[in-house]
Structure 1
Amino acid sequence: MTELLRTLFITTPGTSLHLEGDTVRIHHPDKPGRHILPLLRIEHIVVWNGVDVSNDLIMRCADDARGITWMSRNGRFLARVTGHQTGNPLLRLEQTRAYDSTQRRLTLARTIVAGKLQNYRQLLLRAARDLDPPARDDVRDVADQHAQALTAAAQATSLTELLGIEGNAARGYFQALPTLSSHAPPRRSKRPPTDAFNCLLSFGYGMLRTAVTGALEHVGLDPYIGYLHGVRPGKPSLALDLMEELRPLLVDRLVLTLFNRKQITAAHTTTDPAGGVHLTEEGRAFFLGTWSKARERTWRHSELDRDVPAALLPLVQARLLARHLRGDRALYTPWVAS
């Protein structure tokens, strides 16, 4: 049995975190009173720029292998402290051997793309049920194109060919999103996002990357040696790989729901002089609240034949990948919603 522990999010500038016995004390000069949480209830701490974390608390979390992650105001990963690395070094050797093998790397990359395309289709087909013709037919056509892309991806003979298939499918997917929400633009913009929809997507992807990176480190895998995304300095490529199958239903679906329910307001975002759109403090707090609730939702996992909370899906998939790399499983199976 795996206990679902909470992630502590601290977004308000001027807040400071301190170690007090076996608890974390949260202090802000404008919020009087004594606010503490038992460390046993926290598996991860995520803080934003302007939040101070005491050295004592950092050292205690490192000793307990409790991660602390620093994020930018739009959810971009900045830094992470994890303490000693867990896991068997033999596993990381197998991870590297799989990367060095052209065929093993291509096989894993194909599987990653297949999981992403399957969940693209799941999101589109579910959303199409609530649409009227011709919008419903247009969205189903894109889902059919993804079915064709799945066949092509399974037959790809090189990473270059596979990345081309994945890129075309992604463009078609984002071009279909405006049919699902009038707030969604027909393309993805980032660094910085230029509209509120992409701003929330970027923030959500940042939160998901933090969760996936932590899961990989927990099972002893190196987040920086990936298969679809390869090896790039400063990029947690394996985390980006595992995110692919999770993004459509854990982040994209959530953002679409928030806009379609008109829960995102002008107070949640702000635009800088260069046209970049950023979340306000109110917007960050609101999204984190909905993100935390969404992480409690259970999804069916066909491989385990049971329901799994969204918060545990990255850990489950990291463990399945580790078992495959160790030779305990012939294949890595991506999570596909059913």
Structure 2
Amino acid sequence: MSRRQGTLCFTQADHAHTNSDADSDTLSNKEPDTRTHADANDIARTTNETKTDEGNEKLFQSENRDSTDNESKNKRKRKATKTKPQYLPIENIADIYVFGSLDANSALFNFLGKRGIPLHFFDYYENYTGSFLPRDYLVAGKVQMAQAGLYSDSEKRLNLARRLISGASANIVKNLKYYGGRGRNIDNELERIETIREQFDRCTDIAQLMGREGLIRRLYYRTFERILQRSDLKFEHRSRRPPSNEVNALISFANSMVYSASLSQLYHTQLSPAISFLHEPGARRFSLALDLAEIFKPLLADRLIFSMLNRLELKARDFDRELFGCLLKKNAREKFVRAFDTRLKETIQHRTLHRSVSYRHLIRLECYKIEKHILGIEQYDPFVSWW
């Protein structure tokens, strides 16, 4: 498989260059006066009209044969100098992220489907556009019926939604306390967020709960410039589709990566990714992955953004400011994806399991906890970092 973007432009330019080289080489070998390709056409036209100069006709035919031979040789050279394919052990691949266009056949999707490897697609503007998910090999009617039943029960749904938003906001508070302890002046926002969190139990429906979540997010984003302390990168306020500046571009891209990672882990459980509890289920989206991503965005997306920007690993020149917003350049995007993958592989000592667990596996464990809550085995207790 290969990306179209860039490849076609290179081929067309190289093709034009090859034709010119082939003509000049042929003519310089045959004619000491270095005539042009147009001259050869004139000779051929004159020969056909008058039929008096058979020598010129033979010369033109010879030139065409030589030109075709040279062009074929150059095509073979170009084919030989293409980038060699990289061979990756399939056992080492958890997900595949595709940015831009992709040339692929059904054999690839059949192979990945059998191996249980999802593909996540992003468009030119780094927006998540969809996923290829292998067949649901863990599908379970009992779990999905219980999941739909819990969603239909407004009280039970509100209870689970409270727990989800409580975990997400607790991880936001952890981030603020971490940077507040390192000299950032964020006490005012932190105090107001703590006050809002105390109101969750008084919310009587999902709309009120989401309203409180929106207030917390606005206060949280207000602290970003003080956390980052980058004079060359202004955040100002949160903007989406399109992101208006570099920090917003990173937030949108990182959140999409967390959503994709959450969807991949949901695939390995018996839960339906389309039936959610905090976000409203909707057409053409896996809203349970949005619920799950809320827990991990402060840990995986925000902390990685803070770390990379404060270490100057990404700079203003790594972004393109276009007419319709701001985007990461290709090299910067690849750098962030590598850093995100490294973060998913990092391990922590799990307090309950008493063993090392990667961030990627933490997401799956969260899915299992939600599943147990749905089945009535035990109450869901969201993951909250302790560092």
> What range is the shorter-chain TM-score in?
0.7 to 0.9
Gaps of 5+ in 2: 8-78
Partner of 1:224: 274
| 1:116 counterpart = 2:165 | no
Confirm or deny: 8 A CA contact 1:11 1:284 kept in the other structure: no
Can you list the C-alpha shifts for 1:75-99, whole angstroms capped at 9, x where unaligned?
A: 4222222221123121111111111
Can you list the C-alpha shifts for 1:120-154, whole angstroms capped at 9, x where unaligned?
A: 110000011111xxx43xx1232222222222112
Tell me: CA distance 1:303–1:165, structure 2 relative to 1, closer, same or farther (3 Å).
farther
Partner of 1:272: 322
Can you list the C-alpha shifts for 1:262-319, whole angstroms capped at 9, x where unaligned?
A: 1112342101123x00111111111112112222222354443444211222111111
- How much has 1:173 moved relative to structure 2? 0.7
- Partner SS state of residue 53, structure 1: coil
Of 176-185 and 294-303, the range deviating more from structure 2: 294-303
Partner of 1:100: 152
Partner of 1:337: 385
Partner of 2:133: 82
CA distance in 2 between partners of 1:150 and 1:30 (Å): 60
Confirm or deny: 8 A CA contact 1:66 1:83 kept in the other structure: yes
Tell me: CA distance 1:193–1:30, structure 2 relative to 1, closer, same or farther (3 Å).
farther
CA distance in 1 between partners of 2:248 and 2:109 (Å): 33
| 1:160 counterpart = 2:198 | no
What are the equivalent positions in structure 2 for 1:148-297 lying under 5 Å apart? 148-182=195-229, 183=233, 185-274=235-324, 276-297=325-346
Amino acid at match of 2:332: G
CA distance in 1 between partners of 2:155 and 2:164 (Å): 14
- Partner SS state of residue 241, structure 2: coil
Identical positions, percent: 25
Amino acid at match of 1:60: F
- Partner SS state of residue 33, structure 1: coil
> Considering only CA atoms, is the larger Rg found in Structure 1 or Structure 2?
2
CA distance in 1 between partners of 2:295 and 2:115 (Å): 30
Richer in helix (by share): 2
Confirm or deny: 8 A CA contact 2:319 2:327 kept in the other structure: yes
- How much has 1:187 moved relative to structure 2? 2.0
Amino acid at match of 1:179: R
Of 167-176 and 69-78, the range deviating more from structure 2: 69-78
Gaps of 5+ in 1: 1-9, 16-27
State the TM-score, normalizing by the size of structure 2. Answer: 0.75
- How much has 1:13 moved relative to structure 2? 4.0
Can you list the C-alpha shifts for 1:30-59, whole angstroms capped at 9, x where unaligned?
A: 753342112222222221122323321111
Can you list the C-alpha shifts for 1:221-273, whole angstroms capped at 9, x where unaligned?
A: 12121111121212321111111111012111110111111111234210112
- Partner SS state of residue 79, structure 1: strand
Aligned-pair Cα RMSD in Å = 2.1
- Partner SS state of residue 88, structure 2: strand
List structure 1 segments (4+ residues) > 6 angstroms apart after TM superposition: none
| 1:127 counterpart = 2:179 | yes
Amino acid at match of 1:328: I
CA distance in 2 between partners of 1:54 and 1:149 (Å): 51
Confirm or deny: 8 A CA contact 1:106 1:159 kept in the other structure: yes
Count of residues paired in the alignment: 310
CA distance in 1 between partners of 2:192 and 2:347 (Å): 29
